[in-house]
Amino acid sequence: MGKKGKERARERREQRLQEISHLRTVPYSPHERWWSKETVAVVTGANRGIGYEIARQLAVHGLHVVLTSRDFDRALGATTNLQAEGLSVQPCQLDITDAGSVMSFASWIQLEHGGIDVLVNNAGVNFNRGADNSVEFAEIVIKTNYYGTKRMIETMLPLMRPSSFGARIVNVSSRLGRANGRRNKISDPTLRENLMKDETLSEELLDEMLTNFLSQVNYGAWQNGGWPQMYTDYSLSKLALNVYTRLTARRLAERLGTHRVYINCFCPGWVKTQMTNWEGNMSTEEGADTGVWMALLPVENISSGSFYAERREIDF
């Protein structure tokens, strides 16, 4: 993109952010407010950053939020801040890479609330900064962003409460994980096509792709593997998450009536958090917006298996 193109893109984004900031001042009508203070939303990695802000905004809208963190004291600290604002928030320990922690969490939720209505999979890691593209932590990145999130989805699905409004899963992803991104994609067109087509898309295909990447990392041979060029491990983990969102949506479409579960993903934009070393062009308030909007959409407007950014559907 040339200098003028970049300038126009920046202007369009700023205009959209202004439109959204106006939309956020418009209160939900009683007809749109399908939730109540009994509605339970779980947010992972919510002790800071975008997750904290998603938890805060959901609680401001009147849901009961279970604020989770891999460190209980951090969950407690964040919860205490929000409770001081009069919000209905409860802390819980949850490390999405630890099968035992996820199982204990699920048992606790079952006992405490009998189930949940909204799951926001926000927890994630990225060890690359600026122009650096190290894959030193590739295993932990894939294990957290893809396999950890997948574990949460599979463990929580049986606990999603039936409702005429449908239960909702929101996955925090990234445009870096687009299969057909302009500047950052897998170079093999057949693999890209197989990931995009319903007939060829499968969990096995994802596992095979990630195993292949991690083994190339181990052997120091990943650089010529045709992987995304920017933040390779992170981009691949989010690509897998996006593909898994579509795959799961297809499976969940078989659930009808009050058993409907809607699953979507979104990109928060480039947000000033610890992950970006507080670089970025958006606040956490702006970054959290689309996820909160998706979680609260009236049932007649909600889709499943879609990818969003700035409250609009975008291509995978």
Binding site for ligand NAP (CB under 6 A): 44-45, 47-51, 69-71, 74, 94-97, 122-126, 144, 148, 172, 174, 267-268, 270-271, 273-276, 280
Residue tagged active-site, from 231, 234, 244, 262: 234
Residues 6+ apart with CB under 8 A from 113: 40, 66
Q: Which is nearer to ligand NAP, 87 or 125 (CB)?
A: 125
Q: 224 exposed, middle or buried (CB, 10 Å; 0-12, 13-18, 19+)?
A: exposed
Q: Which is nearer to ligand NAP, 90 or 276 (CB)?
A: 276
Residue number of the CB closest to ligand NAP reads 49
CB of 101 to ligand NAP, least distance (A): 8
Q: Which is nearer to ligand NAP, 166 or 291 (CB)?
A: 291
Residue pair 40/163 in contact by the 8 Å Cβ criterion: no
CB of 74 to ligand NAP, least distance (A): 6
Q: Which residue has the tokens 């407010």?
A: 33
CA triplet 297, 253, 38: central angle to 5 degrees?
Answer: 40
Q: Which is nearer to ligand NAP, 71 or 136 (CB)?
A: 71
Write out 125-171 in H/E/C secondary structure.
CCCCCCCCCCCCCHHHHHHHHHHHHHHHHHHHHHHECCCCCCEEEEE
CB of 142 to ligand NAP, least distance (A): 12
CB of 157 to ligand NAP, least distance (A): 18
- DSSP strand pairing (118-121 vs 312-314): unpaired
CA distance 201 to 235: 18
Q: Which residue has the tokens 């600290």?
A: 77
147 is catalytic: no
- Residues carrying an active site annotation: 234
